[in-house]
């Protein structure tokens, strides 16, 4: 375990005393630290022991003195004694977890610097235990303070004082201004609400998830596309685009206003998001909405366009009195969100984080914060790349229309299927044409699903999380959105070295406590003056280490000239190899990285330490033996050593409590393991799009072309005397079309460079 404490902010001695006393710690700044320390510990122990002297005697002050004897002596509290006791309070065990306090404190990066102040006790409460919970959260679970359904704060964070065992679970149907199924009336969407029983008006943490009401996997699987085929030879042309506005309808509602909902539920159709659970216990209503085209809602699944976004936006509008919500699908009665403050934060990963990005670009009033975790910022960058059809990592053959089939859950209701499926199939057929699986080009369809062009409309505070090893929603999505935001926007990025994963239950970073601090500030009015760093990045060189930067992307470059004895990359494989790689793309990756696949591999010595920050640029002079070609590249750190893995491992099962014994989850962390290499970044290019997305040029056989391929952005630290391995190849069996044409690419090494974007 290693501490990276971002959520705590130092307070004055007076504030520390006030907050400690408000929690029942009868400390006094006029008393000695030793006496205050004993008072503090006795309060904690009294939650379980009447005889606190006995409990004190079971802890130690140092290797020679138990804690009771220490408090009965005239010895003063030293840094070593404080740290030894603090570790035990947190749950570390002497002689098991540690023997030498000083050594263990250094190993942990223990965040408290002892100075005999009440601030030390204050910060100790905000410090995480080995279970993953902060000490204050653990003590609240142990009834340090009662459940009141009223707010209580500590260090600018809302505490778990709301009863999660007795909440209101209700359903409303929000009217949207879109008519995506063309039936002539506005689409309404089902909204599941979970909120504490309180007299306070409360803010909302909202998750917009098309998966929430269920998915249709058989229909999606049936629409998974075959990856084998020939790369299309496209006609030279320039692509033109326009800005299109969605069509909307005005509400015609004459519904009667009522004060009670008609529908409730016991369990959500799919599991709740644990960050939402965590905030529910702290006075935030949870809202889950699947949106248009989903079970018990109206409309068709338009997948990523602003009609879908507008429908989700309508929920925020309803919370602020600007839209109508009905109590049933009859549309006869409407209800107002009189319990809501109108302040909203969105949450969730992947498609859920995508909708957070999209909603922010509407500039809707009431959306104060988004937490966009591994979200798409342009759907072209999810399903395409540089003029190529490129499948999301791990899902070869998936495309936008197969995702539409997966999330169009209205067909799970037989009655809806009966009435609407014929029209929906025509809609789906047209969508299949619009995505253009022939050319892989950027077009109007994809332009209408590009949120980056509306980044200037964002008003909310933005929090991103993303993994450098996320080849599903690739890092270009967060990189472009982060850098497109206006300069005045409060933005923060947690960039880790994992794959497509959540980080709120990681041991090494207090992400959920940081979100609590931020949301208490922005949505609950806590004047905590806490500011997160702009970029918080996980250092790949050691376990559980995080550092900060001011930018994601640098304009400084370290350039390396490239050379190799090999000049030719063959595209064609024999039938056995082609079949083997097609059946399991991991076989291809294993061979690619060990010089067994068709590729040119170049090892590049890096003499000095470098911090890669941004996009790697590959500049080549290349020619194709035919009138087409695709170029793929991967950059690895090469060399046997311990690397961070991309999937978290469980450290402590079900130890992380999201309330008071509420929705416990595993504490996890990215492990380090010995390996021969680590992928840093990768990229793909259709040679016909070598001058950009909107320009298609001919590939003339055996004519030299100057090509620049920018790889996926990253932040990655290289130590002195590291080795980079650049792998150049054509077909990628995980991502690109599997074209087994017998053509070759030839590289001219006289005009070949690798430029690393670095932070000096």
Q: What is the pLDDT of residues 179-210, one digit of tens each?
A: 999 999 999 999 999 999 999 999 999 999 99
Last residue of a domain, one of 117, 147, 177: 147
Assess whether 183 carries a catalytic annotation: no
41 is a domain residue? yes
Q: What is the pLDDT of residues 608-626, one digit of tens each?
A: 999 999 999 999 999 999 9
Q: What are phi and psi of 85, to 5 degrees?
A: -70, -45
The count of other CB atoms within 10 Å of the CB of residue 695 is 14
**Mean per-residue pLDDT over the chain, rounded:** 97
Q: How far apart are CA 512 and CA 517, in angstroms?
A: 9
What's the burial of 337, exposed, middle or buried (CB within 10 Å: 0-12/13-18/19+)?
buried
Active-site hit among 225, 500, 530, 735: 500
Contacts for 405 with CB less than 8 Å, ≥ 6 apart: 216, 219, 220, 222, 223, 428
Q: How far apart are CA 345 and CA 576, in angstroms?
A: 52
Q: What is the pLDDT of residues 361-404, one digit of tens each?
A: 999 999 999 999 999 999 999 999 999 999 999 999 999 999 99
Last residue of a domain, one of 147, 172, 188: 147
Q: What is the pLDDT of residues 167-180, one digit of tens each?
A: 999 999 999 999 99
Q: How far apart are CA 35 and CA 468, in angstroms?
A: 49
From residue 589, how far is each of 66, 444, 592 by CA, in Å? Answer: 57, 34, 5
Last residue of a domain, one of 122, 147, 172: 147
Provide the CATH number for the domain around residue 594: 2.60.120.260
Percent of the residues in the chain that have a pLDDT greater than 70, as a whole number? 100
Q: What is the pLDDT of residues 430-439, one digit of tens each?
A: 999 999 999 9
Cβ-contact 646, 627 below 8 angstroms: no
User: What SS3 state is found at 592?
Assistant: helix
- Residue 121: band (very low, low, confident or very high) from pLDDT cuts 50, 70, 90: very high
User: What's the pLDDT at 529?
Assistant: 84
Supply 352's token pair.
Answer: 């859920």
Q: Which of 756, 439, 722 is nearest to 617 (CA)?
A: 756
Active-site hit among 470, 657, 732, 739: 470
Q: Is the pLDDT of residue 114 over 90?
A: yes
Q: What are phi and psi of 202, to 5 degrees?
A: -130, 155
Give me the DSSP letters along 549-571: ES-SS-S-EEEEE---S--EEE-
User: What SS3 state is found at 653?
Assistant: strand
Assess whether 368 carries a catalytic annotation: no
State the total domains in the chain. 2
User: What's the pLDDT at 705?
Assistant: 97
Q: How far apart are CA 609 and CA 2, in angstroms?
A: 24
Residue-range definition of the domain harbouring residue 594:
557-647+673-757
Sequence length of the chain is: 760
44 is a domain residue? yes
641 is a domain residue? yes
Q: How far apart are CA 727 and CA 505, in angstroms?
A: 35
74 is a domain residue? yes
Percent of the residues in the chain that have a pLDDT greater than 90, as a whole number? 99
Assess whether 466 carries a catalytic annotation: no
User: What SS3 state is found at 476?
Assistant: helix
Q: How far apart are CA 230 and CA 215, in angstroms?
A: 32
Q: Which helix (H) or strand (E) holds 575?
A: helix 575-583
DSSP label of 236: P
Active-site hit among 347, 350, 508, 554: 350
390 is a domain residue? no
253 is a domain residue? no
373 is a domain residue? no
26 is a domain residue? yes
- Residue 317: band (very low, low, confident or very high) from pLDDT cuts 50, 70, 90: very high
Give me the DSSP letters along 693-749: TTEE----TT--EEEEEEPPPEEEEE-TTEEEEEEEES--TTTS-B-----EEEEEE
What's the whole-number mean pLDDT along residues 4-31? 97
Q: Is the pLDDT of residue 528 over 90?
A: no
Q: Is the pLDDT of residue 751 over 90?
A: no
DSSP label of 312: H
């Amino acid at each position: 375990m290693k501490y990276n404490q971002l959520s705590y902010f130092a307070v004055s001695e007076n504030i520390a005393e006030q907050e400690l006393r408000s929690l029942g710690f009868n400390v006094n700044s006029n008393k000695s630290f030793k006496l205050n320390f004993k008072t503090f510990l006795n309060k904690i122990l009294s939650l379980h022991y009447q005889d606190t002297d006995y409990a004190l005697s079971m802890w130690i002050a140092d290797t020679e003195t138990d804690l009771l004897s220490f408090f009965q002596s005239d010895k003063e509290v030293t840094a070593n004694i404080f740290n030894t006791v603090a570790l035990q309070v947190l749950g570390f065990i002497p002689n098991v977890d540690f023997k030498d306090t000083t050594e263990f404190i250094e190993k942990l990066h223990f965040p408290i610097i002892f100075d005999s102040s009440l601030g030390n006790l204050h910060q100790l409460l905000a410090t995480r235990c080995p279970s993953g919970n902060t000490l204050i959260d653990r003590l609240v679970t142990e009834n340090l303070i009662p459940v009141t359904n009223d707010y209580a704060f500590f260090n600018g964070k809302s505490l778990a004082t709301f009863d999660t065992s007795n909440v209101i679970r209700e359903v409303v149907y929000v009217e949207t201004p879109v008519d995506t199924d063309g039936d002539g009336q506005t689409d309404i969407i089902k909204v599941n609400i979970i909120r504490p029983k309180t007299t306070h008006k409360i803010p909302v943490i909202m998750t917009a998830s098309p998966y929430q009401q269920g998915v249709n996997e058989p229909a999606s699987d049936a629409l998974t596309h075959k990856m084998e085929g020939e790369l299309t030879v496209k006609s030279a042309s320039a692509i033109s685009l326009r800005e299109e506005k969605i069509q909307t309808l005005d509400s015609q509602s004459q519904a009667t206003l009522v004060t009670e909902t008609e529908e409730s539920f016991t369990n959500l159709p799919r599991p709740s998001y644990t960050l939402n659970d965590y905030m529910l216990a702290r006075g935030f209503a949870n809202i889950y909405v699947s949106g248009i085209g989903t079970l018990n809602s109206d409309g068709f699944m338009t997948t990523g366009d602003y009609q879908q976004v507008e429908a989700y936006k309508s929920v925020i509008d309803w919370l602020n009195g600007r839209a109508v919500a009905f109590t049933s699908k009859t549309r006869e009665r409407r209800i107002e969100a009189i319990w809501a403050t109108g302040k909203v934060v969105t949450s969730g990963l992947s498609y859920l984080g995508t909708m957070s990005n999209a909603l922010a670009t509407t500039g809707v009033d009431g959306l104060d914060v988004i937490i966009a975790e591994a979200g798409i910022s342009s759907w072209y960058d999810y399903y395409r790349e540089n003029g190529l059809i490129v499948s999301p990592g791990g899902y070869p053959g998936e495309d936008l229309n197969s995702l539409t089939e997966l999330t169009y859950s209205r067909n799970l209701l037989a009655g809806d299927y009966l009435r609407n499926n014929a029209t929906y199939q025509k809609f789906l057929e047209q969508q299949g044409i619009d995505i253009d699986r022939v050319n892989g080009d950027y077009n109007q369809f994809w332009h209408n699903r590009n949120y980056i062009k509306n980044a200037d409309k964002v008003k909310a505070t933005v929090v991103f999380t993303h993994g450098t090893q996320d080849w599903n929603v690739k890092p270009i999505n967060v990189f472009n959105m982060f850098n497109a935001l206006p300069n005045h926007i409060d933005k923060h990025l947690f960039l880790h070295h994992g794959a497509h994963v959540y980080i709120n239950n990681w041991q090494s970073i207090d992400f959920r406590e940081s979100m609590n601090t931020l949301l208490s500030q922005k949505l609950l009015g806590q004047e905590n003056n806490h500011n997160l760093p702009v970029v918080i990045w996980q250092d790949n060189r050691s376990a559980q280490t995080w550092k900060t930067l001011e930018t994601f992307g640098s304009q400084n470059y370290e350039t390396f000239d490239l050379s190799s004895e090999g000049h030719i990359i063959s595209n064609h494989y024999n039938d056995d190899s082609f079949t083997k790689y097609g059946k399991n793309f991991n076989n291809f990756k294993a061979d690619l990285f060990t010089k067994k696949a068709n590729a040119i591999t170049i090892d590049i010595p890096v003499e000095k330490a470098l911090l890669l920050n941004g996009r790697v640029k590959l500049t080549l002079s290349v020619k194709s033996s035919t009138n087409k070609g695709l170029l793929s590249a991967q950059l690895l750190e090469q060399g046997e050593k311990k690397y961070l893995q991309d999937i978290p491992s469980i450290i402590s099962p079900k130890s992380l409590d999201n309330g008071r014994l509420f929705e416990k989850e595993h504490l996890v962390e990215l492990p380090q393991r010995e390996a021969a290499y680590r992928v840093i970044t990768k990229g793909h290019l259709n040679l016909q799009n070598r001058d950009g997305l909107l320009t298609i040029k001919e590939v003339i056989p055996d004519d030299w072309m100057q090509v620049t391929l920018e790889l996926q952005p990253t932040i990655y630290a290289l130590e002195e005397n590291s080795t980079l391995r650049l792998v150049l190849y054509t077909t990628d069996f995980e991502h690109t079309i599997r074209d087994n044409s017998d053509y070759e690419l030839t590289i001219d090494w006289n005009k070949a460079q690798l430029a690393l974007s670095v932070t000096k």
